[in-house]
């Protein structure tokens, strides 16, 4: 049995359906991420789990027990808020001790527990500081220590790293991963940042317009997106579509506008005559000069139309002679190597039959 079971949960605000019939099972010890653009319902779902809001339909069960009718203070679930929500009139120690006092832990035991918790988040010696005397990263760690001190079975994190700068965010990501492994508490993490979701999670639920589009491990979400939305939202992606022409020997030919016949590995529902779409990651597309012999299963010639220099890689937008636009990229691994091609250069692009991935919708 899963630790947290979300069963057919619906939440409406007037005519707007914020959470639309969501089913998710989250296992004990998992680092689970709800990922989606703003307004997709991920934060509403988090508030439903915490108890700040109630579902219109469906049930949420923790350890098999229905949470309906329990106000937030009676749910054994803790939340780390985006703004940290540290109590400004209490010291770091006071903040971390707060849940213990609410749980009527004997005063004699509190000091030792607080000291241990601050040690765990590397904040020893900060106990007497007030929140406004801390940096963003330190506030973050106080918020986590405060939420974890009563050893809840489930920790909810609402975009906790959104307010930090990029460098610190990466550091905190590493810390979160090791902390979660250490304490063994189930994390449910909400973010709109797909790289963060891929880096942190054991499993990700991609949400769009209140619905769950796909629940999978990060590598499967990235390599085998099920829908057009997931393919597009996670990383960069060429989504190509057309009519299935033939289906033989595990391969299908698809007639894509601007490219012509493209051969890819068959997926579900790829019968002749069907409309089909497939996702092709830029890094799976080979980019070669006009004279290099290309032995790819699919290859086309075209011209470079746009260049984006990203530092580690350079993204090239190639327009094929028949008119399709394909995004590809090259790693800038050579010394001082900024770009292999210039805008307007003739190039060839190609990819293997198994490079693309069929989308179900």
Partner 1 sequence: MASRAGGKTAGRLVSVPPLLYLIAFFALPTLLMVVASFRSPGEFGGLAPLVGADGAIDLNLESYARFLGEPIYFQIFLKSVITAFLTTLTCLLLAYPLAMVIARSSKRRRDLMLLLVILPFWSNFLIRIYAWMIILGPQGALARAVDWLLSILGAEPVSLLFSPFAVLVCLVYVHLPFMVLPLYANLEKHDQALLDAAQDLGANGWQRFWRVTFPLSLPGVYAGAALVFIPALGIFAIPDILGGPNDTLIGNIIKQQFLETRDWPFGSVLSIMLTVAALALAALAAWIGRAGGARARRNGA
| Residues of the shown chain interacting with partner 1 in the complex, contacts defined by CB under 8 A | 50, 52, 71-73, 77-79, 81, 83, 85-91, 93-95, 97-99, 101-103, 128, 130, 146-147, 150
Q: Are 158 and 48 in contact (CB under 8 A)?
A: no
Q: Which is nearer to partner 1, 188 or 279 (CB)?
A: 188
Q: Which is nearer to partner 1, 83 or 275 (CB)?
A: 83
What whole-number distance in Å separates Cα of residue 224 and Cα of residue 201? Answer: 16
Q: How far is the CB of 77 from partner 1 (least distance, A)?
A: 8
Residue with smaller CB distance to partner 1, 75 or 203: 75
Q: Give the nearest distance from C-beta 72 to partner 1 in angstroms.
A: 5
Smallest gap, in angstroms, from Cβ of residue 176 to partner 1? Answer: 19
- φ/ψ (deg, to 5) at 199: -70, -35
Any alpha helices (H) in the chain, and if so which ranges? 42-50, 92-102, 107-120, 136-148, 166-183, 194-200, 218-223, 228-233
Distance CA 43, CA 54 (A): 13
Nearer to partner 1 by Cβ, of 164 and 204: the residue is: 164
Contact 137, 168 (CB under 8 A): yes
Q: Between 89 and 167, whose beta carbon lies closer to partner 1?
A: 89
Query: Minimal distance in Å, beta carbon 276 to partner 1?
Result: 46
Helix (H, G, I), strand (E, B) or coil at 265: strand
Cα(24)–Cα(12) distance, rounded to whole angstroms? 18
- CA gap 202, 187 in Å, rounded: 10
Buried b (16+ CB within 10 A) or exposed e, 39-70: ebbbbbbbbbbbbebebeebebbbeeeebeee
Least distance CB 79 / partner 1 (angstroms):
5
Integer Cα distance of 278 and 314 in angstroms: 24
81 or 126: whose CB is closer to partner 1? 81
Nearer to partner 1, 73 or 291 (CB): 73
**CB 94, min distance to partner 1, A:** 2
Can you tell me the distance from the alpha carbon of 353 to that of 287, in angstroms, rounded to the nearest whole number? 16
Output the smallest distance, CB 267 to partner 1, in A: 44
């Amino acid at each position: 049995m899963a630790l947290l079971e979300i069963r057919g949960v619906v939440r409406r605000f007037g005519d707007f359906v914020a959470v639309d019939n969501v089913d998710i099972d989250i296992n004990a010890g998992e680092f689970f991420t709800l990922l989606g653009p703003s307004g997709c319902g991920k934060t509403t779902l988090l508030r439903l789990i915490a108890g700040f809001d109630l579902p219109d339909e469906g049930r949420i069960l923790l350890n098999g027990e229905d949470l309906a009718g329990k106000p937030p203070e009676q749910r054994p679930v803790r939340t780390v808020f985006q703004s940290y929500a540290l109590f400004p009139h209490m010291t770091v120690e006071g903040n971390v001790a707060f849940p213990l006092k609410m749980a009527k832990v004997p005063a004699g035991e509190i000091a030792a527990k607080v000291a241990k918790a601050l040690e765990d988040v590397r904040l020893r010696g900060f106990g007497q500081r007030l929140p406004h005397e801390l940096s963003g990263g330190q506030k973050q760690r106080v918020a986590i220590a405060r939420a974890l001190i009563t050893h809840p079975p489930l920790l909810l994190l609402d975009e906790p790293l959104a307010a930090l700068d990029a460098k610190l965010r990466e550091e905190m990501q590493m810390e979160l991963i090791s902390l979660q492994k250490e304490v063994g508490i189930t994390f449910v993490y909400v973010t709109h940042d797909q790289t963060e979701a891929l880096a942190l999670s054991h499993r990700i639920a991609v949400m769009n317009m209140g619905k769950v589009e796909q629940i999978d491990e990060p590598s499967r979400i990235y390599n085998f997106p099920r829908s057009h939305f997931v393919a597009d939202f996670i990383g960069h992606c060429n989504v190509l579509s057309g009519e299935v022409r033939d289906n033989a020997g595990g391969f299908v030919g698809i007639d894509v506008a601007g490219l012509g016949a493209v051969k890819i590995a068959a997926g579900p529902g790829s019968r002749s005559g069907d409309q089909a779409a497939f996702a092709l990651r830029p890094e799976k597309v080979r980019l070669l000069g006009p004279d290099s012999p290309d032995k790819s299963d699919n290859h086309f010639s075209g011209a470079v139309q746009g260049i984006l220099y990203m530092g580690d890689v350079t993204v090239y937008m190639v327009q094929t002679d028949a008119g399709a636009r394909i995004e590809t990229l090259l790693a800038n691994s050579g010394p001082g190597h900024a770009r292999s091609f210039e805008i307007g250069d003739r190039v060839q692009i190609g990819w293997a039959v198994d490079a693309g991935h069929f989308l179900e919708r």
